[in-house]
Structure 1
Amino acid sequence: MGQSNCSKYYPFNKDHVSEYEMFNKKGKADGTMKYTVSNVTHSEGSITVTINSEFFDKKGKPVMSSAFDMSCNGGTVTMDFKSLMNADMMKQFDNFETEITGTNVEFPNTLTAGQTLPDANIHIKMNMGGINMTMTTDITNRKVDGTETITTPAGTFDCVVVSQSSSGKMMMVKFNSTQKTWLAEGVGMVKSEDYNGNGKLQGTTVLTSYSQ
């Protein structure tokens, strides 16, 4: 498979490509995402990869692209907090001068039902025509719910299910949501679901293809 032994769930091999389709709360196609491992750096005891992310609208038109790092050290994968920014967030901030800080997301190689995972956060400061705006998102209640076998257009996968809560403030407006993510060994994210504060499904992302 060309998969690094350092990372159990996320692919760390150069040129690995994962493609996803996004659906809105009504189940209608809402765009696609493509993640490519563009660079792999080995240092003593750790591996760091750069992942390019591309977002396309439902007509296939490029909307946004960005990059973030992911590293593996001592059996734990650490994901750059910039990965917490979804397509809508990046689209909104694309034309503004931004300063982004935060706490990275950690995924141990060993994930078992009932296990709790460290919190994460991201803080974005924007300069919008001389006006400073801030946005903060806190990722809490991260835990492993269990295992599940799911099927997507990319195949059938044995997954670990991880859930989390998101809360924060964006331009004086508070928000709360929850997410569920299905992870498969050597593949990474296979599916994710986003729910609003009332527990209603807002969007789904599914893996449509991936390369080794």
Structure 2
Amino acid sequence: MKKISCILVLLALLASSVFSQDCTLYIPGTIGTELHYQTTNAKGKVEGIYTQKMLSVKENGSQTTFKLLQTIMDPKSPESIIKQDTFEFRCDGNVFYIDMEKYLNQQQMEGFKDMEVKISTEDLVYPSKLSTGLELPDGSISLEIGDGILNMTTNIVHRKVEAYENITTEAGTFKCYKISEDVKSKMGFVNVQLHNLVWIVQDIGTIRNESYNKKGKLGSTTELIKIIR
């Protein structure tokens, strides 16, 4: 009986290992890993700094959930923390999902903390294998605030893998998938449209992100500047 139990446990561990290999992560897979980012405007002035740290990895059947802590610091005083939030990512089978709540303006949401907020999302999807020319599914998030007093929506559309190329930042040189996407946001009668170019790499995530306005003018650039493992 003991031998049978040991074999069953071993098979379960092997199944878990195979699953983990099937799902390609675009975040760090190791607890404790820290990613340090810097955001600059079109003139190269630093406007923001933040870190992302992997907190936990939990498996439940075919699904694995990853919890990550994001810490936003004052660029003029990096030791001063402005805000911290946790975000969840998941692998289900061999597909990697990014929770669209990650794209909410957390400071803006503070203004609605005493109001009823209904959120519906369609998470961003990354298949196990990317290739140049591949079109990716859209993502979206919708908020109904105060029983319909205010509605907010963000849609990430026209996602496409444009290239597989090297990107160099202060953190090093990485072979990345370059993904283009359009971000369309609406709050009340206000509409904002951006075009993003994002470079991502397996087991880390975003290496560089360039954001352009609807006229094609560069607005900001975010880069990975340090990795602590």
Taking structure 2 as the reference length, the TM-score comes to: 0.83
Partner of 2:109: 93
Amino acid at match of 1:189: T
Structure 1 residues 94-103 or 65-74, which shifts more? 94-103
| More helix by percentage | 2
Residues of 2 paired with 1:10 and 1:40: CA distance? 12
Number of equivalences:
204
Once the two structures are TM-superposed, the CA of residue 65 in structure 1 deviates from its matched residue by 1.8
Contact kept, 8 Å, 2:124 with 2:137, in 1: the verdict is yes
Once the two structures are TM-superposed, the CA of residue 167 in structure 1 deviates from its matched residue by 1.0
Residues of 2 paired with 1:178 and 1:189: CA distance? 16
Partner of 1:56: 73
Compared with structure 1, are the counterparts of its residues 161 and 171 closer, same or farther at alpha carbon in structure 2 (3 Å cutoff)?
A: same
Structure 1 segments, 4+ long, off by >4 Å, are: none
Once the two structures are TM-superposed, the CA of residue 99 in structure 1 deviates from its matched residue by 3.4
Q: Does 1:118 align with 2:137?
A: yes
Once the two structures are TM-superposed, the CA of residue 135 in structure 1 deviates from its matched residue by 1.2
Contact kept, 8 Å, 2:24 with 2:129, in 1: the verdict is no
Compared with structure 1, are the counterparts of its residues 99 and 26 closer, same or farther at alpha carbon in structure 2 (3 Å cutoff)?
A: farther
Q: Does 1:180 align with 2:213?
A: no
Once the two structures are TM-superposed, the CA of residue 74 in structure 1 deviates from its matched residue by 2.3
Structure 2, gaps ≥5 residues long: 1-19
Residues of 2 paired with 1:26 and 1:42: CA distance? 44
Partner of 2:14: none
Residues of 2 paired with 1:125 and 1:25: CA distance? 33
Q: Does 1:24 align with 2:41?
A: yes
Residues of 1 paired with 2:148 and 2:91: CA distance? 38
Residues of 1 paired with 2:127 and 2:141: CA distance? 20
Contact kept, 8 Å, 1:63 with 1:91, in 2: the verdict is no
Amino acid at match of 2:100: F
For 1:15, what is the secondary structure of its paired residue?
coil
Q: Deviations over 1:89-111 (max 9, x none)?
A: 21122232343321111111211
Taking structure 1 as the reference length, the TM-score comes to: 0.89
For 1:83, what is the secondary structure of its paired residue?
helix
Q: Deviations over 1:16-57 (max 9, x none)?
A: 211100111221101111111111101112211111111123
Residues of 2 paired with 1:152 and 1:165: CA distance? 24
Structure 1, gaps ≥5 residues long: none
Question: What's the C-alpha RMSD, in Å, of the aligned pairs?
Answer: 1.8
Identity %: 29
Q: Does 1:74 align with 2:93?
A: yes
For 1:99, what is the secondary structure of its paired residue?
strand
